[in-house]
Amino acid sequence: MTGRLDGKVAIITGAGSVGPGWGNGRAAAVLFAREGAKVFAVDLNPDALAETVGMVEGTISTHLCDVTDSAAVAGMVEACRAEFGRVDILVNNVGGSRPGGPVELSEQDWQSQLDYNLTSVFLTCKHVIPVMKAQGGGAIVNTASTSGTRFTGSPQVGYASAKAGIIQLSKVTAVQHAADGIRVNTVVPGQLHTPMVEARLAGQRAGGDVDTLLAQRQSRIPLGFMGDGRDTAYAALYLASDEARFVTGTEIVVDGGMTARCD
């Protein structure tokens, strides 16, 4: 039985997770390997990567990298080429939010949010695109957020601005490199139940009460339940696969209908 990504080499950043469960990057690594890709899993946390590796059935290699550091990203891409010979797919999953609007968020945290969520995507694209161009093509899938398109219940201006930036970075890059056979698209997850809820968000928004935060988030979703990182990963799988050969410069929103509501 053939997989949807047989013969492909996929760099997946943020492939660890901040806690047990299905983060976007971990889910993508597990799913892509199951679909036949050779996965080059990237994260800063070796323990989180090791946990991901233990869940994978297929070919996976790991690499520690700070994706906000250009030299480190360049080294990461070269390490992938040295091991697997090419880069067919790039999936960007690194990200995280800090609360606060322009008044409350410090200038340092503002810059950190842009670097962590947006500059990381810029740098991986900067170093992967020349490789894909020389090969004759590839697919890039960037992970944004509904916070980049709507106010989703909490002021987080740095995160929201960066995620909005990812969507436009993807569009511009898609048009620029279409003639090179490189497709660039964005997955826009909504309020999923990922390990980030327990690890960070509950403390930021619900006084540490996970159940209260989960109830608040679920109440916004017309389908009546929250997805998790696997839902993001399945959308990314489609965009990374040859099934999406005519799809570039666009987004798939994965939010259970949340952003379609008026209230």
Measured torsion, CA atoms of residues 56, 61, 64, 69, in degrees rounded to the nearest 10: -110
Asked if residues 97 and 110 have their Cβ atoms less than 8 Å apart, the reply is no
Reply yes or no on whether 238 is catalytic: no
- From the list 116, 159, 234, 238, the catalytic residue is 159
Q: Return the sign of the alpha-carbon dihedral for residues 207, 208, 211, 216.
A: positive
In the sheet with 251-254, reading across from the earlier edge strand, the strands are: 60-64, 38-43, 9-13, 89-92, 138-143, 182-189, 251-254
Among the listed residues 236, 229, 13, the one whose alpha carbon sits nearest the alpha carbon of residue 121:
13
Tokens of 161: 């601005």
- What are the catalytic residues? 159
